[in-house]
Chains A and B, each alone.
Chain A
Amino acid sequence: MNQERWRELASEYIEGTLTPPMRDAVETHLNENPESRAEAEQLRGLFAQLQQFPEVDPPLFFADNLLSRIQRESQVKRPWWSSLLGIGRTAGATLVLGGAAAGIAWMFLSPQAARAPASGKSRQARTALLPGWSGADRAPGDPAALARPHLAVERTLRVAAGEPPAYDFTLSLLNASGGIARFRVPGDTQPYRAVLVKSSIPPILRVPLVSARDDSTMAVRCDWSADGEKHVKYLLVPLPEQEGIAPEKLSFGLGEMPLPETARALVARYGKPITLEDVPESLRLAVVARAETLEETLTRHLKGTDLRVTSSPSGVLVAPAR
């Protein structure tokens, strides 16, 4: 038996499916050829290693996003919808209708994710609407008012019996027909991705409080895109027991760090949420607070940059001045 023939039979030999005479011939070859013998051992090890591949978890909203897409595409494929309902055949109208239907389907298919717990064993406490405005109470430069694509994130504390407490981040896309948001949660090296559809029941990113990087703050980075625009949003929120714990004015110093890290440290001290929208990646800050509120400290340190600090009862927003 030569080397080439041995290699042809290698798998069958290792799997033990060769006939006895063939197996004997292979073993004779292996005894006489150290190179082939080493190869056999390596292949055996390789087989063992290949069986041990661990499984990975699919993305958090995988099934929900998929079903939304199927619903959406099904609606677009059916022209009779528009004629039946007497609506125009514009792509926008169809998309909105498809999105709404997808959202409704999503709600029914994932009731546990979309509906608030009834009462009794669990409770849901609305703590903040990031990034600091809602409805009529719009901040100056509000992208919603300026008709720019905007990802609104509403944070809710979820406490349910038998489950670890978590923050629910409800995602709503404004002024855009569709988009994608991708989240990095501390402790998870894999991102979570959500497809966003206008007018649909908004998806919720549920992050257990234990995911927080330290004892007081949770930091989530969100890369999102809609209608061809790309944005980055940081959600820096205190854990419930830390929220609003500090006095209004504080004095302290922080070493120079990238802005998201600085903001996280400020959240930890003040117990107040900060949202960063499209801040420059290169910007670093060394903060020295002199008996100042969070807003005063940030405003003073960001003076001279393109960034603007906006305050609301639900937190502080740092975003480029529009």
Chain B
Amino acid sequence: MAQDDEKKLIERCRNGDTAAFNILVRRYERTVFNTAYRLCNSYDDAADIAQEAFVRAWNNLKNFRGEAQFSTWIHRIVTNVFLDDRKKKRARPTRSLDEDMELDENSVQRQYEDTSPGPEAIAEGDERQRILQRAISTLPEAQRTMIVLYHARGLAYEEIAEIMDLPMGTVKSRLNRARLALRDRLGSSAELFGVFESQAG
């Protein structure tokens, strides 16, 4: 994707061109959604967080001067939306409409269960991935963000430093602590360790 092309799109967005923003959304929806999904470990929450991130991006495009890549900027927004969301939920624990509906659907899902694996079953079929995702979601938000941005999204230290507004040395040391914390949380999972040992061996 040419940088010029993206700059032109952003310029059009600044002038209120929703068609241009639609192109940007379709270009980045997958990456933004997946970042949100790995951060919150909930498909529905991820949809809300990703949508809110794009809305914030649209409302703040006038402040986007293009010093950073759009992808870095949108990652920064989605991370902030996630952190804000957690802060809000901690301050005011509530059950969302969707959560209620989720509970309702448990039995119904069983009724319509298909023997063929669905996309999520395929995507999450690996038990190790599930255990790992669960362990990640027990990490403090700041550590979780580090793990997701670096490992799940494959961002560079420099990009994470920009997203989190931290010096690169701090990013590295925090990421190291996050990995060790994750490893410690997995400690009780002997099976998983076995896999790791055999992989490493």
Contacts and interface: CB of A to CB of B under 8 A. Distances in A.
Interface of A: 7-8, 10-12, 38-39, 41-59, 62-63, 65-67, 69-71, 73-74, 105, 108-109, 180, 182, 184, 186-191, 193, 213, 219, 221, 223, 225, 230, 232, 258, 260-261, 281
Contact of A46 (B38, B105, B120, B179): B179
A55 B38 CA distance: 9
A127 B132 CA distance: 47
Contact of A62 (B19, B29, B124): B29
Given A45-B197, A56-B123, A50 B18 contact: no
Given A41-B196, A42-B193, A67-B18, A184 B105 contact: yes
A55 B25 CA distance: 17
A52 B114 contact: no
Contacts of A45: 195-197, 199-200
Interface string B164-200: 0000000011011001101100100000010111011
Q: DSSP class of B's interface residues: helix, strand, loop or mixed?
A: helix
Nearest to B16: A74
A60 to B, nearest CB: 10
Interface stretch (B4-12, B48-56, B71-79, B81-89): B48-56
A191 to B, nearest CB: 7
A67 to B, nearest CB: 6
Contact of A186 (B29, B43, B112, B173): B112
A63 B26 contact: yes
A223 B106 CA distance: 13
A26 to B, nearest CB: 13
B19 A108 contact: yes
A22 B20 CA distance: 51
Contact of B197 (A41, A50, A58, A260): A41
B128 A190 contact: no
17 contacts: A11-B179, A12-B172, A39-B183, A41-B200, A43-B183, A44-B199, A49-B132, A51-B151, A54-B124, A56-B120, A57-B119, A70-B54, A186-B112, A189-B120, A213-B114, A221-B108, A281-B104
Contact of B196 (A44, A58, A186): A44
A223 B101 contact: yes
Nearest to A282: B107
Interface of B: 16, 18-19, 21-22, 25-26, 29-30, 33-34, 37-38, 43-44, 47, 50-51, 54-55, 58, 97-98, 100-101, 104-105, 107-109, 111-112, 114, 116, 118-124, 126, 128-129, 132-133, 147, 151-152, 154, 172-173, 175-176, 179-180, 182-183, 186, 193, 195-197, 199-201
A182 B18 CA distance: 25
Contacts, number: 172
A223 B105 contact: yes
A47 B151 contact: yes
Contacts of B30: 55, 57-58
Contacts of B25: 63, 66-67
Given A56-B119, A59-B47, A190-B118, A184 B109 contact: yes
B108 A184 contact: yes
Contacts of A189: 109, 118-121
Contacts of A71: 18
Given A42-B197, A184-B105, A62 B47 contact: yes
A169 B38 CA distance: 30
Contacts of B133: 53
Given A46-B182, A66-B55, A193-B47, A52 B129 contact: yes
Contacts of B114: 186-187, 213
Nearest to A8: B176
A182 B199 contact: no
A21 to B, nearest CB: 19
Contacts of B186: 42, 46
